[in-house]
Amino acid sequence: MTKNDAAQNPQQPEQELEQELEQAAEQEQDVEQEQEQAADAKSNASDRLGELELALSQAEQRVTDANDRAVRAVAEMENIRRRAAQDVEKAHKFALEKFANEIITTVDNLERALEIAAQADSINQNFLEGIELTHKGLLNTLNKFGVEAVGVIGEAFNPELHQAMAMQPSAEHDNNTILAVMQKGYTLSGRLLRPAMVMVVKN
């Protein structure tokens, strides 16, 4: 700008200064808007991050709950399977125990018949052999199903297997030795079916 121009328009420097001030104010506003936008974007990003973290936490909880339900379902199925197996085993043992008790009664009768035959003066040998074979066959059948006789003369008295019916002193035996067996006892797979009725030594 020449001196003549300045002389002709003395307000021009002031106008230019105002324009520069306005431009600076606009730039400052632009910067403030950008800062506000950046702050809003940061806030939105923070909110979005919070939402994602919440969604992730909820998803993890759902997975944990699903795993817990699956574990409980497997455990329940295992319990059902075990209870069913126990019920089947109990039913089998009960049926076998009932069967064994019936057979034991028949064995008792055969053994009494053999004792009577041994005391008889004369007896048909074929008849006696038939009784002996039947007795042996029944004992073999019982053994196949886990039924074993208990109560042997000379062994120690066991209150879990034997029932003392009488006591008698004996100089030839120790105390609590079985001196006589009135009736055999039986066990089924280790469980007592019937205790042996015995006479025990007591000095």
Local mean pLDDT, 10-residue blocks, the chain (203 residues): 51 72 75 75 79 88 91 93 89 82 91 85 81 92 91 94 94 92 92 94 90
Q: What is the pLDDT of residues 64-123, one digit of tens each?
A: 999 999 999 999 999 999 999 988 888 877 788 888 888 999 999 999 888 888 887 777
Domain boundaries, the chain: 147-203
Q: What is the DSSP letter of 142?
A: H
**CATH top-level class for 147-203?**
mainly beta
Q: Which of 198, 140, 137, 131 is nearest to 167 (CA)?
A: 198
- Report the C-alpha gap between 187 and 105 in whole angstroms: 14
